[in-house]
Amino acid sequence: MKSLILDLKTYKSICFYPSCGTDLSDIDYFCSGRLPIEERKKTTSAEKCDWETEEPDLYFHSDVNFYMEFEAGEDFDLSECGIHGKYEIISFEQLETLDKPNRINNNFPYSGQCFKYSLKVWGKEKPVTLIFCLCENEYTVSQIFLANKIDISYVWSKNWNGGRTYGPWLAKAAKLIGVKFFYTDWLCLPGFRGEPSNDIVYEKYPELKVKNNSLLERTDNHWIEEGAHGWVDEFKVR
């Protein structure tokens, strides 16, 4: 993991997307200039906007599945993953494999594999980087970000419906990894759905249980992304 950590520390602003599947809507949103989904569908040119914080230069995605989709490398079709503007894959490489990263889920032969892309999106001159790792979200936060003091500017979470764990643990622990803005639907918000249990998270990753929960304050930036469970909104982390 050492080379991965050294690489991550070269980026100024990181957006983390847990349980992403093949969705790239976070890249689509930020690279378009923060256009809501309906506006992104109408144009392919990036809009200029005033940033309150830095635009991400790295998008870090994690999921326990979807090995076959990402091993395709430069054959990966971004248009099928939610990119509405212009796009180009500049480079692709497979990084070192993380050793048995899953503590909650099973470890399979493909578990721990990581892929890195350099992308030009929405006609912007400066490329962005996407790193996709086949591992648990909890491992990513605990052993990659938290253990190595890597701050995350943004979290983007969409349709995290839960397998064995659920999104509210990440919302509560957001300040641990320096999150400034949290983009999510109601599935990650603490207190909703009767707060499904994340006991197994805290059993396997006790460092992720915090005494003083992070607070999510909803901003006026609504209806950013439409998903099967509703709209993704913007929240400031307090």
For 40-86, how does the pLDDT look when each residue is reduced to its tens digit (9 = 90+)? Answer: 988 877 866 665 668 899 999 999 999 999 999 999 999 999 999 99
pLDDT (average), residues 20-39: 93
CA of 189: how far to CAs of 159, 163, 171, in Å?
12, 17, 7
Greater pLDDT, 51 or 224: 224
Distance CA 66, CA 24 (A): 13
Q: 196 pLDDT exceeds 90?
A: no
pLDDT band for position 193 (50/70/90)? low
Predicted local distance difference test score (pLDDT) of residue 2 = 92
- Average pLDDT of the segment spanning 138-161: 95
Cα–Cα–Cα angle for 205, 207, 213, nearest 5°? 115
What is the Cα–Cα distance from 118 to 120, expressed in whole angstroms?
7
Residue 111 in contact with residue 100, Cβ under 8 Å?
yes
The predicted model scores a pTM of 0.95
Q: What is the pLDDT of residue 6?
A: 96
- pLDDT at residue 223, as a whole number: 84
Residue 50: predicted pLDDT: 61
CA-based radius of gyration for the chain = 17
